[in-house]
C-alpha cells in the first residue's frame, strides 16, 4: 500500500526541459522547500474530500505523489472540501494552513473555513491545532489562505472572504504562534479593475493571494474571475506595508489565457534549486475551454527596474512549449 502511494508523476529522467502543464492533478499549488526537498501541497483533483495531497521533488518539475499529508477522520473537525494547503516551518514544527468544511456530506451546500494543523514532518500526518482558525462574520465564508512571515518575524495571513456575490482578499496580522489574529482583518483587493470584473453567473471574484517581499516592497499576487472561467488570470499589487494600501500593477494581468492555456490561477512564488531564478507555480485547466481537471504549471518571472515606482514583475508565460529546467536542477 505504501509503495502504491509513491506513484511518480514525472517526466522522463535525463530530460533538460519541461513543458506545461505538468502531469500533476493539483490546483491552488503552494511549495515549501526544506532541507533541499520541495514539498507541493494543493487541492487534489481526483478527490478533494480525501485531504490535502503532498508531492516531493528536487527540481520543481519531476514530482512524486506521497499521499495525503492531512486526512479527515471520525474525530476531526475538518470533514470535506479540502482546498489548497500551505506548510511553513515555525517554532520547531510544521504548520499547515488549509481550507475545509466541517460538513460530513460532500453534496451539502458549501460551508468553508480556514483551519491549521501541525506535524513533525512536512509529509505529515498533520493533526488539527486550530479548526476553525477563526469564525467568519455572519454571511461570509473564508477560503484561499496564504501565510507570510516578514523580515522581523511577524506573521500575516492573507485569505478570501466569500461575501454578497463576490470574493474579496483580506489580510491580518497574526499572534506570535500564528494561530490567531492579532487584529481585525483589513481589505486588500476587491474585484474592481476591468480585467477583474468579469462576472461568473453574477459573482465577481478576487482571490488566491500570495505574498512576496522584494527590495523592501510588498508584492501581492492574486487571481480574478471565477476559477471555472477560461479567463481566470493572475495579477499583482504593490505596497510599502504588508497590509497596504495597495497599488495594482498597470501591466495586469501578468498571466492570462492563451489559445493553448486556459484559466491560469493561484500563482505562488518559489526559488529555483540554486536560488538564482524565481518561478510561479500555478494551475491551468487540462481543457482549453476552461472547464476540466486542473494541473500544475510553472513559469519564470523576474523583477525589472521601473522609473515610475517599484520594480515591476515580468512573467515568461503562460508557456506551452519546452522550457529549460530550473537553474540548479540536475538534468
Q: Looking at the predicted structure, is the pLDDT value of residue 7 above 80? A: no
Between 202 and 266, the higher pLDDT residue: 266
Contact of 223 with 252, CB cutoff 8 Å: no
Contact of 11 with 316, CB cutoff 8 Å: no
Contact of 167 with 160, CB cutoff 8 Å: yes
Residue % of the chain over a pLDDT of 70: 95
Confidence of residue 331 (pLDDT cuts 50, 70, 90): low
CATH topology (fold) of 2-9+26-324: Tachylectin-2; Chain A (2.115.10)
Q: How far is CA 258 from CA 29, 226, 287, 318, 319, in A?
A: 21, 17, 12, 8, 9
The pLDDT of residue 197 is: 83
| pLDDT per position as a tens digit, 103-143 | 999 999 999 999 999 999 999 999 999 999 999 999 999 99
Contact of 282 with 298, CB cutoff 8 Å: yes
Q: How far apart are CA 168 and CA 222, in angstroms?
A: 10
SS3 assignment, position 4: helix
- Provide mean pLDDT across the span 289-310: 93
Q: Looking at the predicted structure, is the pLDDT value of residue 147 above 80? A: yes
The pLDDT of residue 9 is: 43
Q: How would you label 6-20 residue by residue, b for 16+ Cβ within 10 Å and e otherwise?
A: eeebbbeeeeeebeb
| Residue with grid cell 471574484, as numbered in its chain | 205
Ranges 50-64, 68-82, 123-137, 289-303: which has the least confidence: 289-303
Q: How far apart are CA 257 and CA 231, in angstroms?
A: 6
Q: Looking at the predicted structure, is the pLDDT value of residue 66 above 60? A: yes
The pLDDT of residue 292 is: 81
| Residue with grid cell 522547500, as numbered in its chain | 33
Q: How far apart are CA 300 and CA 28, in angstroms?
A: 18
Q: How far apart are CA 294 and CA 233, in angstroms?
A: 14
Between 289 and 124, the higher pLDDT residue: 124
The CB-side HSE value for 15 (13 A sphere, CA atoms) comes to 14
- Provide mean pLDDT across the span 160-175: 95
- Of 186, 82, 90, give the one whose Cα is nearest residue 131: 82
Ranges 4-8, 75-79, 201-205, 316-320: which has the least confidence: 4-8
Q: Looking at the predicted structure, is the pLDDT value of residue 208 above 70? A: yes
Beta strand 204-214 with 166-173 is parallel
Cα 125-145-309 angle, rounded to 5 deg:
135
Cα 311-317-318 angle, rounded to 5 deg:
135
- Provide mean pLDDT across the span 136-155: 97
- Of 81, 76, 174, give the one whose Cα is nearest residue 125: 76
- Provide mean pLDDT across the span 194-215: 92
| pLDDT per position as a tens digit, 8-40 | 444 444 589 999 999 999 999 999 999 999 999
Confidence of residue 4 (pLDDT cuts 50, 70, 90): very low
The pLDDT of residue 14 is: 56
Residue % of the chain over a pLDDT of 90: 88
Q: What is the mean pLDDT of the chain?
A: 94
Mapped to the 3 state alphabet, what secondary structure does 226-262 carry?
A: CCCCCCCEEEEEEECCCCCCCEECCCCCCECCCCCCC
Confidence of residue 301 (pLDDT cuts 50, 70, 90): very high
The DSSP secondary-structure symbol of 277 reads: -
Ranges 32-46, 153-167, 283-297, 301-315: which has the least confidence: 283-297
- Of 145, 141, 74, give the one whose Cα is nearest residue 116: 145
Amino acid at each position: 500500500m505504501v509503495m502504491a502511494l509513491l506513484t511518480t508523476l514525472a517526466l522522463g529522467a535525463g530530460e533538460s526541459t519541461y513543458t506545461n502543464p505538468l502531469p500533476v492533478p493539483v490546483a491552488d499549488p503552494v511549495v515549501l522547500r526544506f532541507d533541499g526537498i520541495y514539498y507541493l501541497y494543493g487541492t487534489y483533483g481526483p478527490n478533494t474530500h480525501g485531504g490535502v495531497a503532498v508531492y516531493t521533488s528536487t527540481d520543481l518539475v519531476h514530482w512524486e505523489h506521497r499521499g495525503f499529508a492531512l486526512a479527515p477522520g471520525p474525530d476531526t473537525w475538518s470533514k470535506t472540501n479540502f482546498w489548497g494547503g500551505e506548510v511553513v516551518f515555525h517554532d520547531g514544527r510544521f504548520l499547515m494552513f488549509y481550507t475545509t468544511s466541517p460538513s460530513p456530506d460532500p453534496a451539502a451546500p458549501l460551508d468553508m473555513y480556514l483551519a491549521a494543523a501541525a506535524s513533525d514532518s512536512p509529509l505529515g500526518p498533520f493533526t488539527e491545532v486550530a479548526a476553525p482558525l477563526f469564525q467568519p462574520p455572519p454571511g461570509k465564508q473564508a477560503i484561499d489562505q496564504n501565510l507570510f512571515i516578514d523580515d522581523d518575524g511577524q506573521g500575516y495571513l492573507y485569505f478570501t472572504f466569500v461575501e454578497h456575490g463576490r470574493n474579496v482578499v483580506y489580510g491580518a496580522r497574526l499572534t506570535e504562534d500564528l494561530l490567531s489574529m492579532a487584529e481585525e482583518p483589513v481589505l486588500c483587493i476587491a474585484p474592481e479593475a476591468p480585467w477583474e470584473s468579469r462576472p461568473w453567473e453574477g459573482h465577481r471574484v478576487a482571490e488566491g493571494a500570495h505574498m512576496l517581499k522584494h527590495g523592501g516592497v510588498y508584492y501581492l499576487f492574486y487571481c480574478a474571475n471565477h476559477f471555472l472561467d477560461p479567463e481566470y488570470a493572475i495579477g499583482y499589487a504593490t505596497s510599502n506595508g504588508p497590509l497596504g494600501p495597495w497599488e495594482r500593477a498597470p501591466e495586469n494581468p501578468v498571466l492570462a489565457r492563451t489559445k493553448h492555456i486556459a484559466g491560469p490561477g493561484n500563482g505562488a512564488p518559489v526559488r529555483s534549486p540554486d536560488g538564482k531564478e524565481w518561478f510561479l507555480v500555478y494551475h491551468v485547466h487540462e481543457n482549453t475551454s476552461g472547464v476540466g481537471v486542473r494541473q500544475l504549471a510553472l513559469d519564470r518571472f523576474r523583477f525589472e527596474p521601473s522609473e515610475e515606482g517599484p520594480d515591476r514583475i515580468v512573467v515568461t508565460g503562460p508557456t506551452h512549449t519546452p522550457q529549460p529546467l530550473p537553474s540548479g536542477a540536475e538534468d
